[in-house]
Structures are given as structure tokens and as C-alpha cells.
Amino acid sequence: MAHLRHLVGLFRLLFVFLTVVTAQTDASPKDTLLDIELDYGTFRGAHAPAYNITYWTTLPFAAPPVGENRFRGPQPVLPVSTTSSAPYNCSRPFPMCPQREDSGDEDCLYLGLYGRPWTKDEKKPLRPVVVVFFGGGFIRGSAALGLPPSAYPTLNVSDTNDLLFVYPNYRTNVFGFLPGKEIGEDPYSDTNAGLLDQKAALQWVQKHIHAFGGDPDNVSIWGQSAGGGSVVAQVVAAASAGNTSSEPLFHRAMANSPYWPKTYRYNALESQRIYDNFVQSVGCNKTSEANSTLACLKALDVQTLRTASLAMTADREATATSSYVWAPVLDDTFLRKPLSSLVRDKDAVVTSAFATYNTHEGENFVPTWLFPKKSNSSDEDEFHNWLARYLPDLMANDVVQVNKLYPAAGDVVGKGDEAYAAYSANNPFGRAGLVYRDVTLTCPAYWMTGLTQNNSTTWIAEYSIAPAKHASDTYWWNTVNKAQTTDPIHYHGYAGAIASFFATGDPNVHKLTAPSVDSLPDRSSEREWTVTADGFSTRSLAQLEKRCNFWLSIVPRLSA
Ligand SMILES: *[C@@H]1O[C@H](CO)[C@@H](O)[C@H](O)[C@H]1NC(C)=O
Ligand SMILES: *[C@@H]1O[C@H](CO)[C@@H](O)[C@H](O)[C@H]1NC(C)=O
Ligand SMILES: *[C@@H]1O[C@H](CO)[C@@H](O)[C@H](O)[C@H]1NC(C)=O
Ligand SMILES: *[C@@H]1O[C@H](CO)[C@@H](O)[C@H](O)[C@H]1NC(C)=O
Ligand SMILES: *[C@@H]1O[C@H](CO)[C@@H](O)[C@H](O)[C@H]1NC(C)=O
Ligand SMILES: *[C@@H]1O[C@H](CO)[C@@H](O)[C@H](O)[C@H]1NC(C)=O
Ligand SMILES: *[C@@H]1O[C@H](CO)[C@@H](O)[C@H](O)[C@H]1NC(C)=O
Ligand SMILES: *[C@@H]1O[C@H](CO)[C@@H](O)[C@H](O)[C@H]1NC(C)=O
Ligand SMILES: *[C@@H]1O[C@H](CO)[C@@H](O)[C@H](O)[C@H]1NC(C)=O
Ligand SMILES: *[C@@H]1O[C@H](CO)[C@@H](O)[C@H](O)[C@H]1NC(C)=O
């Protein structure tokens, strides 16, 4: 390991050396217009003519979270030793935070950004900014940008939306989400470190984005899956800070299929068990002093932690419950209140919000042993067997309600609600999928759009193009593919609405489809926008609202 570190160090030195040499011999005037001087270094960007963008793919935004700073919220970024004649080379990839075995680097708090061609002598108005959090269940993922960069089709869908996209890394799994009283009580450690990384990136944007032509007063946050859950977390954190918070770090929120697993208090039994099990699994349980287990974790080799973190996730996935172990927790400093209590108290923070969900996406998260059996009675048993594992605290009365709202013969009650088609033939897999979808993905999306100030307009969309599984919708806005030319209606309609939301705060203002095509209805009209194989239409939200209200009414048994 020491050997490897040595090599990595050498490699980095080599990079610095190369940067210096090329910068001194090959500094064209065009390049220097992409040299951005910040108070901690000079950062050189690049153009990509093939995609007509300017980009900075590697900018450090916090100190490396290593040594004593492992499991600790991000610390102020360290000065980079550059000069105007030898700037920091920003056009190279950065490492992912530690996750899969043998991959990533703890020194991972970097962000990348890109937008349409821009140089620092630009006189045009500052551009709206979109900060994107990656998905990956809070256990994996990376913000590293390639060419074409993520979300490129959302920028390129029209010339109208001049957006600046920012992709920050954040710590995942044990490195970003280790709960427990030892963490909460230690002055050199923080619960929700991964979410604090995101917040630090938002603070970086407030301080520095104008230097890249971005408008700090016009910031959207965006994400899909755990990236959407991250958006929920930032909204919840800002709202639960109440009037103690100063200037807002963002103004709009968009979440696609936000993954919002149960949120326990950092020192609840469930959280403490995670800490204790982890400590045991890496052999840090040998001593009994109050904080020495934590000191042991901080001193351990990164590979040992990564392997143990992965093993705990795999165990939990096998037991078919909801989470990947590592997830946001409630604490007294950042996530002070659960989402549900903000919804009930109507605490609000963003001025506009847009959320989407996919019809069948819950099925990605429920076990396949729920596939229909031959006998109906055993199907019923299987469903309740699963439900008891997924939500073990439900009371008998709650289960009666679940049976009413999610009946075994879904086609009877669910007419008009496409979701029920998933199990219209008495299918416990689809039925469990819908329960999971509502509790962990769709109701959080619905609830988040209720957290806006002054009754501002918000929007909900349901993506139903088969298979409409988790992440199916990313096809239309995240990656360059043939659909952008073969199916311009769906591309312009869906990616166009998202881009319009970021540019104007309203998905309909820069609408790219014909006037006859349905626009997005306000959530206050109790209708949602649907994306189907045939195009776009609207549908009543009444069924979903009824089910989400039920879950809200029993929220202590959900930990939502
Ligand atoms: C910056 O790094 C990239 C990727 O390693 C490399 O291709 C490029 O030549 C470097 N630029 C300079 C000016 O050193
Ligand atoms: C690149 O984008 C700019 C707008 O930022 C536009 O003026 C220019 O025509 C584009 N160039 C190409 C080759 O598309
Ligand atoms: C970007 O949009 C332009 C204009 O529609 C199109 O010609 C070009 O192919 C798009 N680029 C990519 C990489 O999709
Ligand atoms: C914050 O709220 C508390 C209680 O709601 C109130 O007493 C206090 O004056 C408020 N502070 C500010 C700065 O608005
Ligand atoms: C530490 O955990 C291991 C593995 O679970 C166990 O075998 C051992 O007895 C524990 N040691 C102490 C001191 O608790
Ligand atoms: C806790 O651990 C830190 C080192 O991580 C040490 O400096 C401190 O003295 C310890 N405190 C107690 C009460 O053991
Ligand atoms: C299962 O239920 C369906 C209708 O709900 C019924 O037609 C069928 O006979 C039942 N099968 C068994 C084995 O009970
Ligand atoms: C909400 O309305 C109040 C009173 O009109 C105003 O002071 C406040 O700035 C508004 N908030 C937002 C986010 O628009
Ligand atoms: C929001 O709307 C509700 C119901 O229409 C109303 O009671 C409330 O006063 C409104 N709040 C604001 C801040 O406008
Ligand atoms: C954000 O920028 C867009 C485009 O420049 C502008 O239309 C909008 O009014 C801005 N919003 C705010 C809140 O400044």
C-alpha cells in the first residue's frame, strides 16, 4: 500500500511538472482567457470544439479528507501552488471517492464544470447555474466529467438555455455516511459528511462561480436517485435550519426519482448497530475506551475500510430490506428534522421545485422471490412477508390500510392509475414494487415539491415509457444517444422542460414542443404531467396524494 501511495505521489508530481513545462512553452492567448484566478490558485480550463463547450473538469473545493479529517465534514480548500504562468491543469479527470474494491482515492473532493463557449473577457450576463449531485445509493458514484459530459443533451436541446453545469464529488458509503454516537460526539468527525461535502460545493459556487460566468443568485440543484435524495437532503437541511440560515445556497430544486431511505437519528439503535458492526468487522472493537474505536477507524488502511463497507452493503441487500446501509441520518446540526415533519409544518425554503418519478421503478428494489406463484394465497403471504421486513413497525391497522390502498387485485381499485397495471393480475412483485416506490421514491418527490415558499408553482412528472424502471428516464437527458435525432418530440419535450426549469424557474417558459402538446400542470391543480410512448399528457394526482397522505399519517412507523 505504502508502495502504491508512493507511486501515486510520484504520478502527481509528474503532473505538476508537466503542467509547468507546457504552460510555459505553449501558453496561447486563447488559453490564458481560460485561466481563472481564485484566492487559492489559478485554474486553466479548455474548449471542446466537438461539443462547443468550455470546461474545467478538476477544481479542488475542500481539503483532502484524509487522516484526522476522515469521517469529518469538509475543511477549507488548501492553496494550490500555481502561478499565472503555471496554472493548475483543470482538463484532466479526478478520482472517485473510495467505493468498489481497489478503486477511488480518499483525496476526492473535486468538482468539474462546463457550459457554452465562454472566456473571462466575456461581457454577457451571468448564466444560471445547475449543481448536479450524482446517484448511486449513497454507496458509490462519481462526478468526474468526460466528453461529452453528463447532461450534455439537456444543454444542447436548444440554444436558448445558457446554463453552467457544476458536478461536485461527495463522499459515499462508510466514508461519507458513518453514523453513531461516537461520530456525533467527536469534535473532529461529522455525521452526514457526504452531504456536508455537497454543501461545501454549494458554498464554493456562491463564492467563486461568478469568476466562471455563473450567477450565484440563480442556482438550481439537481440529481437522480441518490442524487435526487441529495437534493431532498439539501432542501431539508436548509428548511430545518429555519431562520438561522443566512443567504440561500440555492434557489430551485429538481429531483428525478429521489431515493430517500429511512432516516434514523444518528445515535438511534439502528444507526448505532451500523457503527458497532462496522467497528467489529474491521477489528476495531479490541479496546473499551470511549472514543478509541473511532481513533482506530481513522488510522486504518483505506482498503480495509472499503472492503468492510462493501461487505456490509452486500449483506443488507441480501436481506431484501430497503437500504444499502449507508444513508443520511438526522442530527442536530445539518439534517435537524425529518422530511415528513417539514411537510406537516409547511416549513419551506426553495422558491421553485420540479420532481419526477418512473412508473415501475420500485420493482428495481424488491426481491425477485416475490414473482407470482401458482397459488393466490401464497402470493398474499409472500407480499406480507416482504412488507413485514421492509416496514417492520407497521401495526395491524396500518396493514389493513395498506391492503385497501394497494389491493391484491389492483385492477379493481386502481382504474385510471397506471401504476396499478403493474400488478393487475395479482402480482406480489408489482404490488411490493409500488409500495416501495411510493414510500422511498415517489412520496418523497411529491413531498419535496410541497416545500416551497409563498405557494410558488411546482411541478410533478411521471415517466411511463416501458419499462419505466429506475433510471429509465435518464436516457432522454443525461447521455448523448440516437434518440436525440430519432425521437425529437420526446427529447425536446422532456429534456426541454428540464432545461427550461433551470433557465427560468418554470419548465413551460422555454417549451420546445408544439403548443398543442400538453404543458406541465401546476401541482396545485392536483394533476401531474405524464411522459408516455405516445407523447405527453396530464393525469390526476388524486390516487398518489391519497397514498402519500396515508404514509404521512403513520410516519413514526416509517422513519421517513
Ligand atoms: C492537462 O492534463 C491532460 C490530461 O492528463 C493532458 O492531456 C493535457 O496535456 C494537460 N495540459 C497541460 C497544459 O499540461
Ligand atoms: C457555439 O455556441 C455559441 C453560443 O454560445 C454559438 O454562438 C456558436 O455558433 C456555436 N458554434 C457552433 C459551431 O455551433
Ligand atoms: C447539438 O445540437 C446540435 C443542434 O441541434 C446538433 O446538430 C448536434 O448534433 C448536437 N450535438 C450532439 C453531440 O448531440
Ligand atoms: C427566529 O425565530 C424565532 C422563533 O420563531 C424568533 O424568536 C426570532 O426572532 C427569529 N429570528 C430572526 C432573526 O428572525
Ligand atoms: C471483536 O469482534 C470480533 C468479531 O465479531 C469478535 O470475535 C471479538 O470477540 C470481539 N472482541 C471484543 C474485545 O469484543
Ligand atoms: C479521543 O481520540 C483522540 C484522537 O483521535 C485523542 O486525541 C483524545 O484524547 C481521545 N479522547 C478520549 C477521551 O479518549
Ligand atoms: C386466483 O385469483 C383469481 C382472481 O382473483 C381467480 O380467478 C383464481 O381462481 C385464483 N386462483 C386460485 C388458485 O385460487
Ligand atoms: C415570500 O413572501 C414574503 C412576503 O411577501 C417576501 O418577503 C419573501 O421574500 C417571499 N419569499 C420568496 C422566496 O419569494
Ligand atoms: C398558501 O395557500 C394557502 C391555501 O391556499 C393559504 O392558506 C396560505 O395563506 C398561503 N400562504 C402564503 C404564504 O401565501
Ligand atoms: C435566472 O436567470 C434567468 C436567465 O438569465 C432569468 O430569466 C431569471 O430571471 C433569473 N432568475 C433569478 C431569480 O435571478
CA 204 to ligand 10 centroid distance, Å: 20
Q: What is the reported pLDDT for 286?
A: 79
Q: What is the reported pLDDT for 233?
A: 96
Q: What is the reported pLDDT for 415?
A: 52
Give me the torsion for CA of 255, 256, 262, 267, rounded to 10°: -40
Read off the C-alpha cell for 372. 407470482
Q: What is the reported pLDDT for 451?
A: 84
- Cα–Cα separations (whole angstroms), residue 281 to 302, 304, 311, 542: 14, 10, 9, 47
Phi/psi region, residue 102 (left: phi>0; alpha: psi -120 to 50; beta: rest), is: left
- Atom number, ligand 8, closest to the C-alpha of residue 453: 13
- Ligand whose nearest atom lies closest to the CA of 349: 8
Q: What is the reported pLDDT for 190?
A: 98
Q: Coil, strand, or helix at residue 143?
A: coil
Catalogue all structural domains in the chain, each as residue range(s) with its CATH number.
25-224 (3.40.50.1820), 276-318 (no CATH), 339-558 (3.40.50.1820)
Nearest CA owner, ligand 9 atom 10: 455
Give the H or E element holding residue 55: strand 53-60
Read off the C-alpha cell for 35. 485561466
- Is the shortest distance between the CB of 538 and ligand 8 below 6 Å? no
- Is the shortest distance between the CB of 385 and ligand 8 below 6 Å? no
- Atom number, ligand 6, closest to the C-alpha of residue 186: 1
What CA–CA distance (Å, rounded) separates 257 from 112?
Answer: 24
- Is the shortest distance between the CB of 47 and ligand 2 below 6 Å? no
Whether residue 225 lies in the annotated active site: yes
What CA–CA distance (Å, rounded) separates 175 from 193?
Answer: 8
Backbone phi, then psi, for 214, in 5-degree steps?
-100, 150
Cβ contact 338:260 at 8 Å: no
- Ligand whose nearest atom lies closest to the CA of 125: 10
Q: In whole angstroms, how large is the CA radius of gyration of the chain?
A: 24
CA 187 to ligand 8 centroid distance, Å: 37
Stretches where the chain sits below pLDDT 70 are: 1-30, 242-246, 288-291, 317-322, 373-377, 409-426, 453-455, 560
Read off the C-alpha cell for 465. 415509457
- Cα–Cα separations (whole angstroms), residue 300 to 282, 296, 305, 374: 9, 6, 7, 51
